[in-house]
């Protein structure tokens, strides 16, 4: 699983001037780009029961949404239509390689690579996302319009299942050719329309909701707190108006809550949240037993599962590994291996043999097998 794709981009300038700020057209982002999956292969993938696929068809302002799995007859349509297949990188390793184009952004921020096919005039309509996306043109051409900044108060079309903007103020237009990329930050309205048949690869980023992060943080904190701690108000002032909750009472509440927050130890909850997989990835007992047997027999190497969500953080003398929503702590001796795997997405036979000979590294390997993050070559 390898590619020679290189992103034609000044990364530092991009992060300073555009990331989460403003759209950017990257003309010729990948020179001589050949899509890793054709439109016919994408259509075939959408036949599968476990694959999340949708079709959006429209005639003027009449938009319809259909859910897969699909069959050949679903692709015989009178009006312009678009097929969207979610998380194609989890099924096609060559598509997963597209994630390496954005490896200057932390890997745990990348969610998936969605691929789409559109007939001439096909579109999913004017909309906005709550996450960053790099729109890479595959086959054919697509005209993109970018517009105003949007949020939860932006007016939407009355539709049961599509979040389409009822107003779209065009600020720029870009006709993308194969290998071009349009970066769109969160909240920016955008609207793509196929000029002839085309395919697009959308590298989308993960953005946990603040409510999710607060919930995970408080759940972790509550597990640590002594349940017999209660509100206290020593040296309370005389109450002059019975029943009133006074500003000083609220000050005490805030101070005691802040003191509880300050007791929080560890932040593993965030790594577990950030690596939660879109779909279940854990192997069954038979698969795990077979993988362990292959490993003990002297495998040729391991490779990162393209569907895996893997991250790590360095603590005092330890490395915490987050794998598909779980976490485990190891000594920092495994850090070179973890860095190598995260960088190359694989370990060769010599690296694997050295890891198997060390008890701590061997435990790390077994954890990655258990979590479904790697497979044996």
Answer whether 11-205 and 275-376 agree in fold.
no
Q: Residues 6 or more apart from 279 whose CB is under 8 A from it?
A: 50, 87, 90, 307
Separation between Cα atoms, residue 353 and residue 305, nearest integer Å? 19
Pairing of strands 133-137, 181-184: antiparallel
- Give pLDDT, residue 2: 47
Query: Residues 69, 48: contact at Cβ < 8 Å?
Result: yes
**275-376, CATH topology level:** Malonyl-Coenzyme A Acyl Carrier Protein; domain 2 (3.40.366)
Q: CATH homologous superfamily for 11-205? A: Cupin (2.60.120.650)
Query: CA-CA distances (angstroms) from residue 258 to 255, 266, 271, 321?
Result: 5, 16, 23, 29
Say what the pTM is: 0.90
Residues of the chain with pLDDT under 50: 1-2
Phi/psi at 22 (nearest 5 deg)? -150, 150
Tens digits of per-residue pLDDT, 112-122?
999 999 999 99
Residues 61-109: tens digit of each pLDDT? 899 999 999 999 999 999 999 999 999 999 999 999 999 999 999 999 9
d(CA 65, CA 63) in angstroms, rounded, equals 7
CA distance 243 to 221: 32
Give the CA count within 13 Å in the CB-facing half-sphere of 336.
7
pLDDT, residue 265, reads: 77
Q: Give dist(CA 168, CA 190) in Å, integer.
A: 8
pLDDT at residue 246, as a whole number: 94
What are the residue boundaries of the structural domains of the chain, listed by start? 11-205, 210-271, 275-376
In angstroms, the CA 295 to CA 292 distance is 5
């Amino acid at each position: 699983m390898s590619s020679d794709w290189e992103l034609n981009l000044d990364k530092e300038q991009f992060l300073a001037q555009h990331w989460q700020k403003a759209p950017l057209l990257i003309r010729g982002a990948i020179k001589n780009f050949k899509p890793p999956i054709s439109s016919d292969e994408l259509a075939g993938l959408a036949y599968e029961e476990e694959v999340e696929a949708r079709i959006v068809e429209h005639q003027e302002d009449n938009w319809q949404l259909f859910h897969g799995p699909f069959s050949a007859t679903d692709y015989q349509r009178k009006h312009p239509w678009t097929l969207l297949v979610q998380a194609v990188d989890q099924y096609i390793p060559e598509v997963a390689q597209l994630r390496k184009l954005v490896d200057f952004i932390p890997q745990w921020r990348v969610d998936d690579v969605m691929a789409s096919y559109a007939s001439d005039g096909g579109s999913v309509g004017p909309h906005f996302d709550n996450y960053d996306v790099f729109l890479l043109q595959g086959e054919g051409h697509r005209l993109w319009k970018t517009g105003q900044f949007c949020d939860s108060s932006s007016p939407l079309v009355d539709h049961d299942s599509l979040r389409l903007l009822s107003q779209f103020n065009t600020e720029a237009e870009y006709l993308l050719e194969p290998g071009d990329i349009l970066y769109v930050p969160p909240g920016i309205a955008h609207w793509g329309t196929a000029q002839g048949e085309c395919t697009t690869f959308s590298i989308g980023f993960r953005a946990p909701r603040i409510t999710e992060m607060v919930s995970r943080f408080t759940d972790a904190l509550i597990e640590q707190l002594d349940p017999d701690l209660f509100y206290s108000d020593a040296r309370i002032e005389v109450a002059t108006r019975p029943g009133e909750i006074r500003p000083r009472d609220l000050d005490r509440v805030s101070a005691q809550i802040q003191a509880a927050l300050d007791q929080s130890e560890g932040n593993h909850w965030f790594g577990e949240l950030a690596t939660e997989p879109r779909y279940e990835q854990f192997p069954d007992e038979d698969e795990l037993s077979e993988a362990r047997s292959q490993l003990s027999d002297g495998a040729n190497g391991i490779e990162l599962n393209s569907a895996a969500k893997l991250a790590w953080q360095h603590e005092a003398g330890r490395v915490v590994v987050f794998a598909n929503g779980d976490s485990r702590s190891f000594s920092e001796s495994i850090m070179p291996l973890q860095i190598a795997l995260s960088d190359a997405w694989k370990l060769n036979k010599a690296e694997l043999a050295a890891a198997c000979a060390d008890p701590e590294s061997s435990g790390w390997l077994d954890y990655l097998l258990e979590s479904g993050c790697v497979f044996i070559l």
